[in-house]
Amino acid sequence: MKRRDFLRNTLLAGAALQFPHIWIKNARANSGPFKITILQTNDTHSRIDPFPMDGGRYQGLGGAGRRATLVKQVRRRNPNTLLLDAGDVFQGTPYFNIYKGKLNYEVMTRCGYDVGTIGNHEFDNGVEALADAMNEAHYEMVNCNYDFGDTPLKNHIKTLVIRELGPVKVGITGVGIHFVDLVTPPNHEGVTYNDPVKPLKSVVKYLRKDLGCNLVIVLSHLGLTASGGFPADPDIAYQVNGIDWIVGGHTHTFMKEPEVVKSKGGHTTRILQVGWAGVEVGKSDLYFEDGKLIAAETGIISVDSEIAEIPLAVENLG
């Protein structure tokens, strides 16, 4: 079957999902706070089909078609929705071996992703192959701590992007993990890793002070726990003042609610990661009043056909 025919059939096969009408007290009135929704994934690892019914831990779960249906339904309820990904789209099933990542990015484009970043497995076939696959990614990619030099990736990956949702200006950047013991030198030739703290401080300050962003999001493929002396998500949340939300990846951590970290400067950062393989999607409703984030609701959605409700972690911030 041709790639495009397969893709069309896969996305049309998404199961219908139902979600309850959810809200918080101070957001019920039409004149109340403005709500944006963040949907997030990480480490989908070329899992385009649901897991097979083989008695395994994740049997029947996941699938890009179901994810596309979920996204459509969430956006129908709230058009002010961003769909974000924290990397490691590549590697894990024969789809990657056959299509070299092109199908992954085409699927994600059709799912409606807005912004993504890259993980270590995106380099599995080398820089040239990654750049070639990214021709199928018709959404934006961000990273601020890799130096892409004169490689073709410099034409595909931006330092930051801005999204304006009603009165809320959202600034988004990304960071990638070190290459040590993860990516062989030939596979990242021309691309240099830099400690993410210094570039993040510069970019976050620029987003906050110069561009006036109400919400700053970092798409991170650093992981929840540090390795080899390199920083992880809690480290950048503590070291860098001004990050509101970290869309995490790499460590395949299934979280029930965000981890909250206070930066050295006193800013509150929330970190959320949703496992791997696309079996879960994070859904966070963020409420703004006079440009300030005042409340957050986070639900973890299992991507299967039996969803009836989303458990919520509710925070009143203001």
Q: For the residues 111-126, what does the mean pLDDT come to?
A: 98
Q: Which amino acid is at 119?
A: G
Instruction: Report CA-CA distances (Å) from 59 to 221, 304, 311.
Output: 26, 10, 22
Indicate the number of domains in the chain: 1
Burial (CB < 10 A; 0-12, 13-18, 19+), residue 164, is: exposed
Question: Do residues 235 and 196 touch, judged by C-beta distance below 8 A?
Answer: no
Whole-prediction pTM:
0.88
Per-residue pLDDT of 36-85, as tens digits, reads: 999 999 999 999 999 999 999 999 999 999 999 999 999 999 999 999 99
Task: Give me the mean pLDDT over the 250-254 stretch.
Answer: 98
Range list of β-strands (E), the chain? 34-41, 81-85, 115-116, 140-142, 146-147, 157-158, 160-165, 168-176, 192-193, 215-221, 245-247, 259-262, 268-272, 280-289, 292-302, 312-316
pLDDT at 8: 52
Token pair 């969430």: residue = 74
Q: Which of 48, 49, 39 is nearest to 71 (CA)?
A: 39
And the tokens for 171? 């600034």
Percent of the chain residues topping a pLDDT of 90: 83
Structure confidence by residue, pLDDT tens digits, 179-221: 999 999 999 999 999 999 999 999 999 999 999 999 999 999 9
Instruction: Find the CATH number of the domain harbouring 183.
Output: 3.60.21.10
pLDDT value, residue 2: 56
Could you list the residue range(s) of the whole structural domain that residue 110 is in? 3-316
> Which residues lie across from 110 on neighbouring strands?
none
Across 124-135, average pLDDT:
98
